[in-house]
Structure 1
């Protein structure tokens, strides 16, 4: 965390342009919070969305898409949940108990992490008035607690407004990728940040989920940063053409 803020910014948003939001980019746990989990678990998908920090950072530094990037682990406070969701302060994740969160002070975590993150994001988006938001996430190829096939290389999530997602699904597919339509999760059930900051304001967005084994290295992250930027720009053009 920088200056005790639960987010950092990369790049300057172009008013009316494209921006990126990465809610689960960090595995950082502040020294004064004891989660009670094995240190090696903080290097896995239960602590953060592997690869997203590098992609969002590169989009901001190299591709002109400014990024609002979380700097605290989802295990400390899940910024991609509503304040009243039990999962905002998770007591378990993919079969692993998070004992330090059992009985923890929820309002303290919300006040320290969740509220500053979303209040700052709201103001940033109001100032930028973006034509498109890229909400960036990644997913593990295999959950420990569930047997399921996850063949998708990238997925597009949405809730009520799928207008931008439809274009992105087509464009990623044209790149030869196996694309999930509201997979591996459904945005009908899990879309908290975009529900609040995009759909509630009529802003267009694409929520991009990338399979983590495809973005584990800096080279792979650089490739995906370029690909997502290209797709996002073409989505924005398609939306403009639709009027």
Structure 2
């Protein structure tokens, strides 16, 4: 965390209004001092703690492609910004079959006040200031399911709830790149879309929730490649919605 804030913003100073904005809810595996999760520290490098690869892409989008970014600085195991406040998983007691014993009986209200509420308040303030033409919500997913080992064929997926305007264009354009594209896969935005429901759908702002398979972006080269592709494809999407 920078200055004890649960988020950082890159490329937002002097950013033009009416452009694109990138939001990354699961960018960090940081656990602040004083919070004991009670798990094997190796799990902090696992998907249950962080969306691998997305922070590097967001930084590149902001610094090289003029797409400002609002980036989480706390692990979702501490407080999941991509959940509603009243969702039991906002402070998870288990994830993907792993018990998080330190979160059992945790002071959820304190976690919301320290992390969730300031993260979303400042994101809302940023949106009001920049009035983005479109929002990019950036996530990553594992190449296979941990529970069954089932392979996930999609290299990228587009998630949406009610507003699929931007997703429809993005699915087509990523397909034209020769990629296998998931339509509300590997997760459905009908069930899991909390941040975009709150900040995009309620404001009528088009958005793309982009899920990238982690083996595509677990290296700096992969992150650079995807930053270029996202800037190109989603820049074209924004012109069509």
**TM-score relative to the length of structure 1:** 0.97
Distance 1:34 1:142 in 2: 29
Match of 1:172 in 2: 174
- Contact 1:94 1:143 survives alignment (8 Å): no
Residue 163 of structure 1 is matched in structure 2 by 165
Matches within 5 A, 1:1-243: 1-12=1-12, 13-239=15-241
Alignment partners' CA distance in 1, 2:76 and 2:140: 13
Listed one character per residue, the Cα deviations across residues 121-148 of structure 1 (whole Å, up to 9, x for unaligned) are 0000000000000000000112322443
Q: TM-score of the superposition, structure 2-length normalised?
A: 0.98
Residues 51-82 of structure 1: per-residue CA shift (max 9 Å, x gap): 00000011000000000000000000000000
Q: Distance in 2 between matches of 1:206 and 1:46?
A: 22
- Number of equivalenced pairs: 239
Distance 2:202 2:170 in 1: 21
- Could you say what secondary structure the match of 2:150 adopts? coil
Looking at structure 2, the residues matched to 167 and 236 of structure 1 have their Cα atoms a distance apart, in angstroms, of 9
Q: Where do 4+ consecutive residues of structure 1 move more than 6 Å?
A: none
CA distance in 2, matches of 1:144, 1:95: 9
Q: Report the RMSD for the aligned CA atoms in angstroms.
A: 0.8
Structure 1: tracts of 5 or more residues without a match: none
Any idea what the Cα deviations from partners look like across 1:22-49, whole Å, max 9, x if unmatched?
0000000012100001010000111010
